[in-house]
Structure 1
């Protein structure tokens, strides 16, 4: 169960090598989290991440998980929940893709959509049902400001995140009153390995800053978290820019 401040004692990360997710895990372990499941494709990086969390004092375990293999989600994730209650699930997997290449090779665009959206729908529903069955817990979904309004420069990635964001909000409404808390996190440009080499956008942030925002959101039982918080106003304005003007913006 969560402590009196809303900090989970057990955490399941879907996307176990995500830098944002691992920064969040480290922050929560310092607070009180003791058991961490890292779900991801088997790799040395996944095992290294688990070992680093063990060095911090957590009981960190790995579980094979593939976002694209939706047929396995119920079995794989069911085994995790069978080990005991999970206080928080952090849905953190996703791919950025390469807009220029993906436009030319539709199958690559489809892979972005399947990973970021359909894989998340499958895993999210499986975890939501398990959390509802145990009667408590938080499902935290890493969305993106890119989903707020599709931009020419990354509309494939942005549209997949828009779908994820809408799904998570609807799921939160559906679970209201069940004891399950759904929180959507909308980071801006985060300096990670995934974004290395890309032009840095205004209001860029770090995995550690997003992790801080996640913890604050958990304590407040927020439904939506922006990282950084100033993006809420920026994106609110951007959503209302007339389309002819929006098309001319260098974004």
Structure 2
């Protein structure tokens, strides 16, 4: 059984790898291979350099990982927060956020679904949306829009995979306290990467999960806030 982590230097990816690695072969893919954490409990660890924006490499990487054994768990956890302030006037940066956080995710998830459906083993794909995509805010609407699009894509892909041996777990965490949000004030109902990792791994079948679960109520309230008030909401 092979665990594939795409975005292995991310906080959440690292925590999921720690949970799933005992006795398994793990393939860790990241832009900075030298920063990938050690997994002493894994049966084997293979490292593959990975640049998410290089869409032509996605199928090659998944096929390479599959050579180590059937992929039973595939974690798509790469991404960037980016700078909303910079994106206001730097169209290249806005496009970079959109490429990494949406286009590259769609590409990789499409490849994974195609490859894993051809395996004889059952498998699970883990993808990550966010409360930021539930309703875009002025403070981070570029990032939020990518999560909204990814969420919609995953809902459709989940239905497409229904009845197959491939499950898709879509996580919608709130503010995650970690390296991506370092220096930012934690929002209400913030979670740690470990909490997110434990929640998604616990999910045994296709489905969408809010992390923490009570975030679902906040999301419902968010939809009711009038736009004149909403446009002044912080990140």
TM-score relative to the length of structure 2: 0.94
Aligned twin of 2:224 = 240
Aligned twin of 2:117 = 132
Whole-Å Cα distance in 2 between the matches of residues 104 and 139 of structure 1? 36
Whole-Å Cα distance in 2 between the matches of residues 230 and 58 of structure 1? 37
Whole-Å Cα distance in 1 between the matches of residues 109 and 160 of structure 2? 13
Confirm or deny: 8 A CA contact 2:23 2:42 kept in the other structure. Answer: no
- What are the superposed Cα offsets for residues 82-141 of structure 1, whole Å, 9 maximum, x if unpaired? 332000101000000011111111110100000000001111111111110014211110
Whole-Å Cα distance in 1 between the matches of residues 102 and 78 of structure 2? 10
Aligned twin of 1:87 = 72
CA-atom RMSD, angstroms? Answer: 1.5
Change (3 A) 1:197 1:42: closer
Determine helix, strand or coil for the equivalent of 1:38: strand
Confirm or deny: 8 A CA contact 1:11 1:33 kept in the other structure. Answer: no
Determine helix, strand or coil for the equivalent of 2:27: strand
Confirm or deny: 8 A CA contact 2:2 2:68 kept in the other structure. Answer: no
Aligned twin of 1:211 = 197
Aligned twin of 1:12 = 4
**Which contiguous aligned blocks of 4+ residues in structure 1 show a shift greater than 6 angstroms?**
none
How far residue 250 of structure 1 moved from its aligned partner, in angstroms, is 4.2
How far residue 248 of structure 1 moved from its aligned partner, in angstroms, is 3.9
Aligned twin of 2:128 = 142
Whole-Å Cα distance in 1 between the matches of residues 4 and 33 of structure 2? 18
Aligned twin of 2:102 = 117
Aligned twin of 1:158 = 144
Whole-Å Cα distance in 2 between the matches of residues 45 and 58 of structure 1? 20
Whole-Å Cα distance in 1 between the matches of residues 42 and 93 of structure 2? 40
Whole-Å Cα distance in 2 between the matches of residues 96 and 33 of structure 1? 33
How far residue 215 of structure 1 moved from its aligned partner, in angstroms, is 2.0
Whole-Å Cα distance in 2 between the matches of residues 205 and 11 of structure 1? 24
2:24 pairs with 1:39:
no
Of residues 15, 19, 23, the one that matches 1:23 is 15
- What are the superposed Cα offsets for residues 172-203 of structure 1, whole Å, 9 maximum, x if unpaired? 11111111101101111111111101121111
How far residue 208 of structure 1 moved from its aligned partner, in angstroms, is 0.8
Aligned residues: 234
TM-score relative to the length of structure 1: 0.88
2:156 pairs with 1:170:
yes
Show structure 1 runs of 5+ residues with no match: 1-8
Aligned twin of 2:176 = 190
